[in-house]
Chain A
Amino acid sequence: MERYYQPEIECASREQIREWQSERLVKQVQNVWDNVPFYKKKMQEQGLEPGDIKSVDDLHKLPFVTKDDLRDCYPYGLLARPLSECVRIQSTSGTTGRRVVAFYTQHDIDLWEDCCARAIVAAGGTNEDVCHVSYGYGLFTGGPGLNGGSHKVGCLTLPMSSGNTERQIQFMTDLGSTILCCTPSYAAYLAESIHEKGVRDQIKLKAGIFGAEAWTEEMRHDIEEKLGIKAYDIYGLTEISGPGVSFECSAQSGMHVNEDHFIAEVINPKTGEVLPDGEKGELVFTSITKEAFPLIRYRTRDICILSREKCACGRTHVKMTKPLGRSDDMLIVKGVNVFPSQIETVLMNKGYPANYQIIVDRVNNSDTIEVQVEMTSEMFSDSLSAVSAKEKELVDALKAMLGIYAKVKLVNPKAITRSEGKAVRVIDKRNLYQQ
């Protein structure tokens, strides 16, 4: 029997969902017009007034918001509530220059945790479960989101955070964790470690909720088999709230978007035109219930397909595929957003040539990133320690910029292939976006 956290919402009729969406959208547009000068200006530039938006049918008239807009408005430019009403800040993976901070009122936290609770119940979670949260806690939304959802469901919550695999497995066996929440690559790593330790029979896991990075069906099967669990996908982004914007149900065939809070559209990334269900395009979200940090038509840059076909689980909310790619050059490495431009900035600042290559791979289910840089006369000397120190300096600067370790490989001049047209800066060997 399928179970739901909020059945009256999750299984509401399409008409009811539309009605909620229209009503909330109209209110939200008025709200941002009144409280966020950025939106008012954007709408005025299009000759729009709040009155022009009468229902979801008018959504397409509104201008898009991009990540660059968020950066330009950093930190308070998109706030729709006074700071005195906000209770929380979360931030995207600590990437300088591209950092996004999102604000939450208590209402916003509640709705976000509701969304995570829906995902946990969809994965079979009840108040009998021990929910083991190995997403990072802190500015990253993974830990706090699932933690809150787990409380709402009434699970016994283990706020493990990431890392220290020994301790993770110890708690898992001693306290009988039944639901695991973490990135899929960490789940695969844990599965491997559990097998190596030979403690598979002491593990009581039955389900996993894995998100924050792209993973393949092969990886899902591998994790499911190794841990003897059902592995569910979860999707979200800090800008919109965090994990739980959409989640997988027992059908494991796409993720239900929590449409009572977020309106999903798919657009042609080049023209901005809205595409019908079933067509592949860029995913755009409008948060219609958020108070502190509402986003109207936010372009996620994730490429996916929407489907409103009836789902076997009984939920009526629209389903999205796993992201099938990106409409920009962003990479997600170890759950952290990495832009080649950030790496380029570091290289330029440190006096390296703009000719570089980024190699991303997955070794033993863990992402690796290597930056190949051509050696220059200025960097070079006869002293090994001096050159190694320069290399180390670059590694440290990259770590400070990206928030993760990137290996640096110094190569001979002209070792990196010059291309005729657009330079091939990134080689992603992980092959994550199949289908």
Chain B
Amino acid sequence: MTVKQISVFLENKPGRLAEFTDVLSENNINMRAMSLAEASDFGIARVIVDDVYNAVTVLKDNDYIVSITKVLAVEMPDEPGALSRVIKVLGDSDVNVEYMYAFTARKKDCAYMIIRVADNKKAIEVLQQNGIRPVCQDELVEL
């Protein structure tokens, strides 16, 4: 009930991000979601792709430092208040959100959120109890 997120180390230097996205595009890798986090001297690009294995291989071949993390991809109705409900469910159960970012899919009337929590198992449990559905890796392709 999780998806694999690829995190990539990027030096904070002009052109580094462009180099990174070039590597993906040259290898025909489509990003489904992406977020950037930055410290003073470096950044971390976090991406969701359909074919994780292929993307990681390509990145490693190009000397990128890569880390794979299991994160939650939560589907919710594309309407006001939907995200609040999800966050409230997690908060009420003491599940701490480390970071999150949105992504869109082709599926109509649905919005998606990538959520990174420390305890995936517990998060999935409370979400499901509240009728909220985390998506699994295989489903990503169809979204």
Q: Which residues of B contact A387 (CB under 8 A)?
A: 9, 39, 42, 44
CB of A409 within 8 A of chain B?
A: yes
Is A382's CB under 8 angstroms from B7's CB? yes
Q: Which residues of B contact A415 (CB under 8 A)?
A: 11
Is B67's CB under 8 angstroms from A380's CB? yes
B-side interface mostly: strand
Report the bound CA distance from A377 to B67 in whole Å: 7
Measured as residues with beta carbon below 8 angstroms from the partner, the interface class of chain B is 20 to 34
Report the bound CA distance from A394 to B7 in whole Å: 22
CB of A388 within 8 A of chain B?
A: yes
Chain A 340-383 near chain B by CB (<8 Å), digits 1 or 0: 00000000000000000000000000000000000111001111
Report the bound CA distance from A383 to B69 in whole Å: 10
Supposing A375-B65, A380-B67, A383-B98 touch, asked if A411 and B7 sit within 8 A by C-beta, the answer is no
Q: Which residues of A contact B98 (CB under 8 A)?
A: 383
Q: Which residues of A contact B116 (CB under 8 A)?
A: 382
Q: Chain B: which residue is nearest A414 at the CB level?
A: B63
Is A382's CB under 8 angstroms from B67's CB? yes
Is B63's CB under 8 angstroms from A381's CB? no
Report the bound CA distance from A416 to B91 in whole Å: 44
Q: Which residues of B contact A383 (CB under 8 A)?
A: 98
Q: Which residues of A contact B69 (CB under 8 A)?
A: 381-382
Least distance between A405 CB and chain B CB atoms (Å): 15
Is A412's CB under 8 angstroms from B67's CB? no
Report the bound CA distance from A237 to B122 in whole Å: 63
Please, could you name 19 A-B residue pairs with CB atoms under 8 Å apart, sorted by A?
A375-B42, A380-B9, A380-B67, A381-B69, A383-B98, A384-B37, A384-B44, A387-B42, A387-B44, A388-B39, A411-B11, A412-B9, A412-B10, A412-B16, A412-B63, A412-B65, A413-B64, A414-B63, A415-B11
Which A-B residue pairs are the 4 nearest by beta carbons?
Answer: A382-B7, A382-B69, A384-B37, A375-B9
